[in-house]
Amino acid sequence: MRILKLLATLVPLTILAWAIAAPASATKTALCKVHQEPCQAGNLVTDLHMLAVGNVYLLNTEADILCLNGLIKGKVDALEAPQGVQVSEYTLTNCGTNAAHSNCTVTFPVRPNFFILKTALNLGQLSETGHSMRIECTLFGILVKCTYKFSEGIRTFIVEGAQHKGAGTGHGMLTYPPPGEEEEGEVELEEGTALCPDTFQYEGLFEPLTDFWVVS
């Protein structure tokens, strides 16, 4: 098992969540279509459809990868502590190290699910379940294949609801890691060659197509 230092200083991603065990005292959390406390059943967000705004980057020690498109879809669970989303689709496309962005593919053989917990007014914290990422690139005429396994809880994210101070168009977003911090975690290289990077940095902004607020 190798240690990957997750170097990102600002990584906005999609606001998603997956319900897992939580302390009984944890705050019940909901993604809500309106800014309403508590969120009524008819206003609960049930489906999320997020698109990358701009490019998604996998910066690494061998060759930086740029993806022109990103998509995440998920089914949101009921109000809970924490609230969850079961991710049904997570794709990065038109990826590459060349100008045409055509020599790499990035896939998730095991998709991450997520859980989110409200921490303040219209703010929350999100963690991932265990998942894997597979990167295949043709570099210098050589096909490089790398599959990484991410342990559960390796990364945490700050969630901002709609119309918060964050970047984007205001529908909602999340940043990783918390501003001014770096995180380290254990990532297992399940399969790969000598050219598989020891470190990489994930940068991208995903936003939902419609507003939601982080409420209870």
182 within domain boundaries: yes
> Nearest to residue 66, comparing CAs of 99, 90, 91?
99
Kindly report the pTM of this predicted structure.
0.79
The encoded tokens of residue 187 equal 């990532």
Count of Cβ atoms closer than 10 Å to residue 27 Cβ: 12
Domain total of the chain:
1
As a whole number of angstroms, the distance between CA 190 and CA 196 comes to 11
40 within domain boundaries: no
Tens of pLDDT along the chain (216 residues) come to: 333 334 333 333 333 333 334 444 467 899 999 999 888 999 999 998 888 888 988 888 888 999 999 998 999 998 888 889 899 999 999 999 999 999 999 999 999 998 889 999 888 888 889 899 999 999 888 999 999 888 876 667 777 888 876 555 678 875 654 444 545 455 678 888 778 887 777 777 788 888 889 998
Residue 175 domain boundaries: 2-31+45-211
216 within domain boundaries: no
